[in-house]
């Protein structure tokens, strides 16, 4: 408690000063009647105790007013938001992007939302050519991962075809899918068509020596078993094969027809087991819109290698850049 002194010749005026300056929190500890000299005029000295942590009465009032103002501002902001919520719903339907993305991109209804979305997505989307990915070892090994039937095997064949035709770089295939009926035959057919070798690996320890069997390959594509991503044990099984390799780059393949939430879940399951950095969007030709897939790519910072857009091997493969994709999602200038 802080103790202060108030002096006045008039007791009432001294009490008024205390009340005015320190409010009701001031406690009168003592009132003394004093004189400066023996025969001089008398005056009152009040010893006042003030609780230090308590704000003064005047300050309390100020705080209350500030609080009321803040509440009024908050009220106004909430009503403004309620209006925007409807407009955002409409804009989300119109653009095919989620409200969360619109908010993050500051895409304001009726204003230049296209510009805001373009700017936001341009900053987040990343496209990389697989031949530009740096490896420490040779050949460069890519592993195609993804749920059942997304097009992993077909895409591996398309990528090998692209490298052979445009870069004169031969690839080899390794399949660890000895589980699905016809899987080995399927990749062998692709290999035969392009005159590229295919190795079948049935046990993880066989992976260690498999690259030595593909001496001419500049690139190797490891084709994996399509797995329900929720079966984490099955993903770990695939990982055991990859752990035998000195170096490999996992590439997640997801079907453009999936909902954004489904893509996100699948990504999270695969990412837990394999550190997923690279991505291929498949079946783009079948999807009504790829906007939510593009949103998924952007929000997860994935580096996209290609879009698969049909069943023809090797032709139905696109290597888009950001500008192409912005056009595809209706954000062309
Ligand atoms: N429309 C379309 N079909 C595709 C595309 N890619 C693959 N397919 C077809 O999808 C089916 C499955 O393709 P696969 O390559 O066997 O898929 P996968 O992921 O290897 O399948 P699993 O190994 O069984 O998990 C086949 O009929 C392919 O022709 C694509 O980009 N567009
Ligand atoms: Mg397959």
Phi, psi of 193 (to 5 degrees): -60, -35
Summary mean pLDDT of the chain: 90
- 243 DSSP assignment: T
Rounded distance from Cα 231 to ligand 1 centre (Å): 21
> Which sign does the torsion angle of CA 49, 54, 60, 66 carry?
positive
Per-residue pLDDT tens digits for 225-240: 988 877 878 899 999 9
Contacts of residue 155, defined as CB under 8 A and 6 or more positions apart, other chains included, come to 144, 253, 280, 282, 306, 308, 317
Give, using CA atoms, the residue closest to atom 29 of ligand 1. 311
Give, using CA atoms, the residue closest to atom 2 of ligand 1. 310
Q: Does residue 158's CB lie within 6 angstroms of at least one atom of ligand 1? A: no
For 274-319, the DSSP string reads S---EEEEE-GGG-S--HHHHHHHHHTT-EEEEEE-SS-TTTSEE-
Residue with the bigger pLDDT between 226 and 131: it is 131
Mean pLDDT on 147-170: 97
Residue 81: pLDDT above 70? no
Rounded distance from Cα 165 to ligand 1 centre (Å): 22
Mutate to test the pocket of ligand 1, among 311, 314, 318, 320 (most ligand atoms within 8 A of CB): 311
Q: Does residue 292's CB lie within 6 angstroms of at least one atom of ligand 1? A: no
Show the CA angle centred on residue 294, arms to residues 289 and 300, nearest 5°.
150
Residue 114: pLDDT above 70? yes
Rounded distance from Cα 177 to ligand 2 centre (Å): 7
Rounded distance from Cα 280 to ligand 1 centre (Å): 13
Rounded distance from Cα 219 to ligand 1 centre (Å): 21
Residue 78: pLDDT above 80? no
Bridge-based pairing state of the strands 2-8 and 42-50: antiparallel
Cα–Cα dist 195/331, whole Å = 41
Q: Is 13 exposed, middle or buried (0-12, 13-18, 19+ CB in 10 A)?
A: exposed
Rounded distance from Cα 224 to ligand 2 centre (Å): 7
Atom of ligand 1 nearest to the CA of 284: 31
Atom of ligand 1 nearest to the CA of 149: 21
Min mean pLDDT across 39-43, 137-141, 166-170, 290-294 is at: 39-43
Q: What is the chain's alpha carbon radius of gyration, rounded to the nearest angstrom? A: 36
Q: Does residue 148's CB lie within 6 angstroms of at least one atom of ligand 1? A: yes
Min mean pLDDT across 50-54, 96-100, 133-137 is at: 50-54
The pTM for the full model equals 0.78
Q: What is the pLDDT of residue 75?
A: 66
Residue with the bigger pLDDT between 74 and 149: it is 149
Residue 83: pLDDT above 50? no
Which ligand is nearest to the Cα of residue 155, counting in written order? 1
Phi, psi of 317 (to 5 degrees): -140, 130
């Amino acid at each position: 408690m802080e103790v202060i002194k108030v002096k006045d010749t008039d007791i009432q005026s001294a009490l008024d000063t205390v009340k005015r300056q320190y409010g009701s929190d001031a406690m009168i500890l003592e009132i003394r009647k004093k004189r400066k000299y023996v025969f001089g005029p008398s005056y009152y000295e009040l010893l006042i105790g003030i609780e230090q942590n308590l704000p003064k009465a005047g300050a309390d009032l100020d705080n209350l007013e500030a609080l009321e103002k803040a509440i009024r501002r908050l009220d106004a902001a909430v009503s403004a938001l309620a209006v925007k919520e409807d407009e955002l719903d409409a804009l989300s339907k119109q653009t095919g992007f989620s409200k969360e993305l619109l908010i993050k991109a500051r895409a304001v209804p009726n204003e230049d939302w296209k510009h805001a979305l373009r700017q936001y997505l341009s900053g987040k989307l990343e496209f990389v050519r697989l031949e530009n990915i740096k490896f420490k070892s040779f050949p460069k090994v890519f592993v195609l991962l993804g749920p059942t039937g997304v097009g992993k095997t077909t895409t591996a064949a398309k990528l090998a075809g692209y490298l052979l035709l445009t870069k004169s770089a031969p690839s080899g295939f390794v399949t660890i899918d000895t589980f699905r009926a016809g899987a080995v035959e399927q990749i062998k057919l692709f290999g035969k068509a392009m005159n590229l070798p295919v190795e079948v690996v049935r046990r993880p320890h066989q992976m260690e020596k498999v690259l030595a069997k593909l001496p001419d390959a500049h690139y190797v594509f490891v084709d994996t078993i399509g797995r329900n991503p929720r079966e984490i044990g099955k993903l770990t099984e695939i990982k055991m094969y990859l752990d035998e390799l000195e170096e490999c780059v996992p590439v997640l393949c997801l079907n453009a027809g999936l909902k954004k939430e489904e893509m996100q879940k699948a990504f999270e399951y695969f990412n837990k087991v394999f550190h997923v950095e690279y991505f291929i969007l498949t079946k783009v030709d079948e999807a009504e819109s790829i906007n939510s897939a593009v949103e998924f790519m952007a929000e997860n910072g994935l580096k996209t290698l290609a879009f698969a857009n049909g069943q023809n091997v090797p032709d139905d493969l696109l290597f888009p850049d950001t500008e192409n994709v912005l056009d595809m999602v209706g954000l062309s200038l």
